Structure 1
């Protein structure tokens, strides 16, 4: 099963509320599914709903609080995830019960989960969407085993990558349950231009890492022709710096930039496949996936 083959389904969808990457890459997928005659029921946070509706995605929206990761921002993601482990396990069990209830209440025929481990059903086919069939090598074998155990609860895995050009390297090596579905980006149908010397800085990721990156970009590129895209304004900035918090306005700024300064999350790498921009990519400190992607030729 692949997205292009889906028609006349009643689809229940959710994506991880960690930063903005999972929401960003879901936009074009959801548009495709809606255009093919599928009916969408989206379980999401209020913030995610506001983003999806701004792109005109037709769906019935069900608000959910989402899982709020708590990070200290010390750059040790292994310890950060351990601190969240118990809360995360409780959330997965709660999420699975909620999914079963929603499947029954809304007569769902298919469940799609962008990296929400508990968002699956025993009543209808459930598909896990990811670029990480395997975690980065430094994650350790215990984390790998848990990751695979949770993925195996799904009937199928959709890998947002291409077999012939894997942006995720070894992370996206397929297994017997998986299908490559290609790259997804909201920029794939946009007209791309270049304003000479224009730099766009994109602040993303979980707190407090996003706030740290906000200040780093201003310190490094504040004297340039800089447009800063951020989920919020963390501090006063020089008058010459333009701040954008609206997603649709941000898209126009990104599409016209000459250079992008960003974290090197996987959704950003897919966006760059369509944008063809110069990019300065800075991994989130200690985040093993981004550090792994930064070391790949295509991730630089």
Structure 2
């Protein structure tokens, strides 16, 4: 009997979104008789190890991505961090070569990890950003990103190809000389028709210090709120624990199954406008309120686009007040775009 092919799957550690959208891919690999091997760092690696304790996992060098306290300094911070990042990518590439050789890896799936590829293996890059928005330097950030993508045999975009899509101009641009595959929105969740237990769910994630700054602001605002609130801080620790604070049920983090239940049971979700969160909420057909990470052009664009289309209200972090939640009832909310992924065909590359 032939051994299962081993596929290295490596999400970027930038909040939890890249890791969580790899969960359905990992499950599909297992269902199709592949053996996934996980590689990442920080909370992304911690989360996947908790979700898949039976799988081999490796810690890759960290890119050390952090946000400035002021959003307008985001580009400058990224620029200053770039030498460290390039060093980490170089170390990552070297480590990947070692893992491939010592653990008989047959293919690679990288979710935005720039050094996780090998010219001797079939390699896939997952991204919803064929265009990388960065203000007046969008042309440059897009060109650099596309140059990286072209090192891979295929690029999988987790969105629909047509007009009914979630990523807008981020994931829909002309890219010649590159096999792009639109694989539909990815989500680890399944919708359940259950009555609402919570009036609002607060769902936090993302790099520091902005995650903590938003937590502090929302904690203060929601203590004035009269309804029932479940508050998930997005801090992955050894144990999942919770406590009560006024009308809030506060959790440090939740497993996928706990989170699926909690979101299904919540009438409204307040969160960042990260792309993975958008895909999850669309799958679960939820009403939401978005507060994009200050200075992150991608999240600001996605929030503004969905607000302009009449799906989800949004505002800046500084502007938010609890009274703004009343506007959510006038918006349509997010809804699923049915898209059945043909994993047999998709995994044919390996």
Give how far 1:265 is off: 0.4
Task: State the distance in 2 between where 1:295 and 1:136 align.
Answer: 14
Alpha-carbon spacing, 1:270–1:290, altered in 2? closer, same or farther (3 Å): same
1:73 aligns to 2:69 (yes or no): yes
Give how far 1:124 is off: 0.5
Task: State the distance in 2 between where 1:63 and 1:246 align.
Answer: 21
Q: What is the 5 A alignment of 1:36-185?
A: 36-45=32-41, 47-56=43-52, 58-76=54-72, 77-136=74-133, 138=135, 139-164=137-162, 165-173=164-172, 175=175, 176-185=178-187
Q: What SS class does the counterpart of residue 112 from structure 1 fall into?
A: strand
Task: State the distance in 1 between where 2:249 and 2:61 align.
Answer: 31
Deviations 1:44-88 (A, max 9, x none): 236434422433464211233432213322112211211211111
Task: State the distance in 2 between where 1:55 and 1:93 align.
Answer: 28
Aligned to 1:239: 246
CA contact (8 A) 1:192 1:275 kept: no
Give how far 1:28 is off: 1.3
The structure with higher relative contact order (CA 8 Å, sep 6+) is: 1
1:279 aligns to 2:282 (yes or no): no
Q: What SS class does the counterpart of residue 271 from structure 1 fall into?
A: helix
CA contact (8 A) 2:49 2:57 kept: no
Give how far 1:20 is off: 0.8
Aligned to 1:227: 230
Aligned to 1:3: none
Q: What SS class does the counterpart of residue 201 from structure 2 fall into?
A: strand
Task: State the distance in 2 between where 1:51 and 1:261 align.
Answer: 21
Task: State the distance in 2 between where 1:22 and 1:30 align.
Answer: 12
Q: What SS class does the counterpart of residue 66 from structure 1 fall into?
A: coil
Greater alpha carbon shift after TM alignment, 20-29 vs 68-77: 68-77
Q: Any stretches of 5+ residues in structure 2 without a counterpart?
A: 237-242, 313-350
> What TM-score, normalized to structure 1?
0.89
Task: State the distance in 1 between where 2:291 and 2:79 align.
Answer: 24
Query: RMSD across aligned C-alpha pairs, in angstroms?
Result: 2.3
Q: Which has the larger radius of gyration?
A: 2
Query: Aligned residue pairs: how many?
Result: 291
Q: What SS class does the counterpart of residue 48 from structure 1 fall into?
A: helix
CA contact (8 A) 1:13 1:111 kept: yes
Aligned to 1:289: 298
Q: What SS class does the counterpart of residue 295 from structure 1 fall into?
A: helix
1:205 aligns to 2:206 (yes or no): yes
1:214 aligns to 2:215 (yes or no): yes
Q: Any stretches of 5+ residues in structure 1 without a counterpart?
A: 1-6
Q: What SS class does the counterpart of residue 296 from structure 1 fall into?
A: helix
CA contact (8 A) 1:100 1:122 kept: no
Alpha-carbon spacing, 1:211–1:86, altered in 2? closer, same or farther (3 Å): same
Give how far 1:109 is off: 1.1
